[in-house]
Amino acid sequence: MSNESATIREWIKVGVITGLAASIIYPVMIFVPLPKAVAVVLLCSFGPLLSIACVGLYHLLKIHRAGIKAQIAVVSNIIAGTLVTIMFIVQTAVNFSMEKYLATATDASIKDSLNMIWKVVDKVQLGLDISWDVYIAIGTFFFGMCMMDHPRFGKTFGSVGVLFALLLLAFNLATFPLPPANNGLVDMGPFVGLWYAAVSVQALRSIKWAHEQTAN
Protein backbone atom coordinates (compact mmCIF):
# COMPACT_ATOMS: atom_id res chain seq x y z
CA MET A 1 0.00 0.00 0.00
CA SER A 2 1.41 3.38 -1.02
CA ASN A 3 1.72 6.36 1.28
CA GLU A 4 -0.95 8.15 -0.78
CA SER A 5 -3.43 5.30 -0.28
CA ALA A 6 -2.72 5.24 3.45
CA THR A 7 -3.31 9.00 3.63
CA ILE A 8 -6.62 8.68 1.75
CA ARG A 9 -7.80 5.98 4.15
CA GLU A 10 -6.81 8.04 7.16
CA TRP A 11 -8.58 11.12 5.80
CA ILE A 12 -11.77 9.14 5.21
CA LYS A 13 -11.74 7.79 8.77
CA VAL A 14 -11.08 11.22 10.24
CA GLY A 15 -13.83 12.64 8.01
CA VAL A 16 -16.33 10.08 9.27
CA ILE A 17 -15.51 10.79 12.92
CA THR A 18 -15.66 14.57 12.55
CA GLY A 19 -18.75 14.39 10.34
CA LEU A 20 -20.67 12.35 12.89
CA ALA A 21 -19.49 14.65 15.69
CA ALA A 22 -20.63 17.75 13.77
CA SER A 23 -23.98 16.06 13.05
CA ILE A 24 -24.52 15.55 16.78
CA ILE A 25 -23.31 19.01 17.83
CA TYR A 26 -25.50 20.90 15.34
CA PRO A 27 -28.94 19.89 16.76
CA VAL A 28 -27.62 20.05 20.33
CA MET A 29 -26.66 23.71 19.80
CA ILE A 30 -30.10 24.49 18.39
CA PHE A 31 -32.44 22.58 20.69
CA VAL A 32 -30.64 21.91 24.00
CA PRO A 33 -30.16 24.63 26.69
CA LEU A 34 -26.50 24.52 27.67
CA PRO A 35 -24.25 26.12 30.29
CA LYS A 36 -22.26 29.02 28.89
CA ALA A 37 -18.90 27.22 28.95
CA VAL A 38 -20.27 24.12 27.18
CA ALA A 39 -22.09 26.23 24.60
CA VAL A 40 -18.92 28.16 23.76
CA VAL A 41 -16.92 24.94 23.32
CA LEU A 42 -19.53 23.47 20.98
CA LEU A 43 -19.89 26.70 19.02
CA CYS A 44 -16.14 26.83 18.48
CA SER A 45 -15.99 23.13 17.53
CA PHE A 46 -18.72 22.84 14.91
CA GLY A 47 -17.08 24.84 12.10
CA PRO A 48 -13.66 23.14 12.25
CA LEU A 49 -15.32 19.71 12.50
CA LEU A 50 -17.44 20.49 9.44
CA SER A 51 -14.42 21.62 7.42
CA ILE A 52 -12.36 18.56 8.33
CA ALA A 53 -15.28 16.22 7.66
CA CYS A 54 -15.68 17.64 4.16
CA VAL A 55 -12.01 17.03 3.38
CA GLY A 56 -12.58 13.38 4.34
CA LEU A 57 -15.71 13.26 2.16
CA TYR A 58 -13.71 14.71 -0.74
CA HIS A 59 -11.17 11.90 -0.45
CA LEU A 60 -13.94 9.30 -0.40
CA LEU A 61 -15.55 10.75 -3.51
CA LYS A 62 -12.32 11.16 -5.46
CA ILE A 63 -11.57 7.43 -5.20
CA HIS A 64 -14.28 6.99 -7.82
CA ARG A 65 -13.56 10.13 -9.85
CA ALA A 66 -11.37 13.08 -9.07
CA GLY A 67 -12.70 16.24 -10.65
CA ILE A 68 -13.23 19.95 -10.34
CA LYS A 69 -16.74 19.60 -8.82
CA ALA A 70 -15.36 17.82 -5.76
CA GLN A 71 -12.61 20.41 -5.43
CA ILE A 72 -15.09 23.29 -5.57
CA ALA A 73 -17.25 21.52 -2.99
CA VAL A 74 -14.50 20.95 -0.46
CA VAL A 75 -13.04 24.46 -0.81
CA SER A 76 -16.52 26.01 -0.42
CA ASN A 77 -17.26 23.97 2.69
CA ILE A 78 -13.92 24.77 4.29
CA ILE A 79 -14.80 28.45 3.83
CA ALA A 80 -18.31 27.71 5.18
CA GLY A 81 -16.82 26.13 8.29
CA THR A 82 -14.68 29.22 8.83
CA LEU A 83 -17.59 31.61 8.35
CA VAL A 84 -19.96 29.73 10.65
CA THR A 85 -17.31 29.77 13.39
CA ILE A 86 -16.93 33.54 12.98
CA MET A 87 -20.71 33.93 13.00
CA PHE A 88 -21.20 31.87 16.16
CA ILE A 89 -18.40 33.63 18.03
CA VAL A 90 -19.59 37.12 17.03
CA GLN A 91 -23.21 36.26 17.85
CA THR A 92 -22.34 34.76 21.23
CA ALA A 93 -19.96 37.56 22.22
CA VAL A 94 -22.54 40.23 21.34
CA ASN A 95 -25.40 38.43 23.10
CA PHE A 96 -23.45 37.74 26.29
CA SER A 97 -22.16 41.31 26.43
CA MET A 98 -25.52 42.96 25.76
CA GLU A 99 -27.27 40.76 28.31
CA LYS A 100 -24.69 41.82 30.89
CA TYR A 101 -25.09 45.52 30.04
CA LEU A 102 -28.88 45.31 30.22
CA ALA A 103 -28.77 43.49 33.54
CA THR A 104 -26.69 46.26 35.12
CA ALA A 105 -28.51 49.21 33.53
CA THR A 106 -30.83 51.00 35.96
CA ASP A 107 -32.23 53.78 33.79
CA ALA A 108 -35.07 52.99 31.37
CA SER A 109 -33.67 55.28 28.67
CA ILE A 110 -30.31 53.52 28.84
CA LYS A 111 -32.01 50.15 28.46
CA ASP A 112 -33.92 51.45 25.44
CA SER A 113 -30.68 52.67 23.89
CA LEU A 114 -28.96 49.37 24.57
CA ASN A 115 -31.81 47.42 22.99
CA MET A 116 -31.63 49.63 19.90
CA ILE A 117 -27.86 49.14 19.69
CA TRP A 118 -28.36 45.38 20.07
CA LYS A 119 -30.82 45.31 17.15
CA VAL A 120 -28.40 47.19 14.91
CA VAL A 121 -25.33 45.14 15.85
CA ASP A 122 -27.36 41.94 15.42
CA LYS A 123 -27.49 42.65 11.69
CA VAL A 124 -23.76 41.88 11.55
CA GLN A 125 -24.30 38.25 12.52
CA LEU A 126 -27.26 38.04 10.13
CA GLY A 127 -24.91 39.04 7.32
CA LEU A 128 -22.42 36.41 8.43
CA ASP A 129 -25.28 33.89 8.57
CA ILE A 130 -26.14 34.58 4.93
CA SER A 131 -22.45 34.35 3.97
CA TRP A 132 -22.06 30.92 5.54
CA ASP A 133 -25.31 29.73 3.96
CA VAL A 134 -24.05 30.81 0.51
CA TYR A 135 -20.86 28.78 0.84
CA ILE A 136 -22.44 25.70 2.43
CA ALA A 137 -25.07 25.77 -0.35
CA ILE A 138 -22.37 25.86 -3.03
CA GLY A 139 -20.44 23.05 -1.34
CA THR A 140 -23.56 20.94 -0.86
CA PHE A 141 -24.62 21.47 -4.48
CA PHE A 142 -21.31 20.29 -5.90
CA PHE A 143 -20.95 17.41 -3.43
CA GLY A 144 -24.43 16.33 -4.51
CA MET A 145 -23.42 16.52 -8.17
CA CYS A 146 -20.36 14.36 -7.45
CA MET A 147 -22.53 11.74 -5.73
CA MET A 148 -24.91 11.24 -8.66
CA ASP A 149 -22.88 8.43 -10.22
CA HIS A 150 -20.81 7.43 -7.19
CA PRO A 151 -21.17 3.71 -6.33
CA ARG A 152 -21.54 4.40 -2.60
CA PHE A 153 -24.02 7.30 -2.83
CA GLY A 154 -25.85 7.47 -6.14
CA LYS A 155 -28.70 9.56 -7.47
CA THR A 156 -30.77 9.57 -4.27
CA PHE A 157 -28.07 11.15 -2.13
CA GLY A 158 -26.94 13.36 -4.98
CA SER A 159 -30.32 14.72 -6.04
CA VAL A 160 -31.45 15.39 -2.47
CA GLY A 161 -28.23 17.29 -1.76
CA VAL A 162 -28.59 19.37 -4.92
CA LEU A 163 -32.25 20.15 -4.16
CA PHE A 164 -31.58 21.15 -0.54
CA ALA A 165 -28.65 23.32 -1.64
CA LEU A 166 -30.71 25.18 -4.24
CA LEU A 167 -33.59 25.75 -1.81
CA LEU A 168 -31.22 26.93 0.93
CA LEU A 169 -29.61 29.45 -1.39
CA ALA A 170 -32.86 30.60 -3.00
CA PHE A 171 -34.74 31.10 0.29
CA ASN A 172 -31.87 33.01 1.91
CA LEU A 173 -31.39 35.34 -1.04
CA ALA A 174 -35.15 35.88 -1.37
CA THR A 175 -35.53 37.05 2.24
CA PHE A 176 -32.19 38.86 2.65
CA PRO A 177 -31.23 40.32 5.10
CA LEU A 178 -33.66 38.47 7.39
CA PRO A 179 -33.65 34.67 7.77
CA PRO A 180 -36.24 32.71 5.73
CA ALA A 181 -38.05 31.54 8.89
CA ASN A 182 -38.78 35.19 9.72
CA ASN A 183 -40.43 35.71 6.35
CA GLY A 184 -42.79 32.75 6.12
CA LEU A 185 -40.34 30.43 4.33
CA VAL A 186 -38.77 27.19 5.53
CA ASP A 187 -35.32 27.29 7.12
CA MET A 188 -33.47 24.70 5.05
CA GLY A 189 -30.49 24.63 7.44
CA PRO A 190 -31.76 21.68 9.53
CA PHE A 191 -32.60 19.74 6.36
CA VAL A 192 -29.09 20.28 5.01
CA GLY A 193 -27.77 19.21 8.42
CA LEU A 194 -29.81 15.99 8.25
CA TRP A 195 -28.46 15.34 4.76
CA TYR A 196 -24.89 15.66 5.99
CA ALA A 197 -25.68 13.36 8.91
CA ALA A 198 -26.95 10.74 6.45
CA VAL A 199 -23.85 11.29 4.29
CA SER A 200 -21.61 10.74 7.34
CA VAL A 201 -23.37 7.48 8.15
CA GLN A 202 -23.04 6.33 4.54
CA ALA A 203 -19.36 7.32 4.58
CA LEU A 204 -18.94 5.15 7.69
CA ARG A 205 -20.53 2.26 5.82
CA SER A 206 -18.16 2.90 2.91
CA ILE A 207 -14.87 2.56 4.80
CA LYS A 208 -14.48 -1.12 3.80
CA TRP A 209 -15.19 -0.25 0.16
CA ALA A 210 -12.62 2.54 0.30
CA HIS A 211 -10.01 0.15 1.70
CA GLU A 212 -10.70 -2.31 -1.12
CA GLN A 213 -10.39 0.41 -3.75
CA THR A 214 -7.09 1.70 -2.37
CA ALA A 215 -5.56 -1.70 -1.60
CA ASN A 216 -2.98 -1.46 -4.38
pLDDT in tens, 142-187: 999 999 999 999 999 999 999 999 999 999 999 888 888 778 888 8
To 10 degrees, what angle do helices 36-64 and 189-205 make? 60
Higher pLDDT, 35 or 12: 12
Task: Give the Cα separation of 164 and 150 in Å (integer).
Answer: 19
Question: Is 216 a residue whose pLDDT tops 80?
Answer: no
Specify burial of residue 109 (Cβ count, 10 A radius: 0-12, 13-18, 19+): exposed
Domain containing 155: what range? 3-213
Report CA-CA distances (Å) from 44 to 37, 57, 93: 11, 21, 12
In this prediction, residue 1 has a pLDDT band, given cuts at 50, 70 and 90, of low
Count of structural domains, the chain: 1
Question: Is 141 a residue whose pLDDT tops 60?
Answer: yes
Res 176: pLDDT: 86
Higher pLDDT, 97 or 7: 7
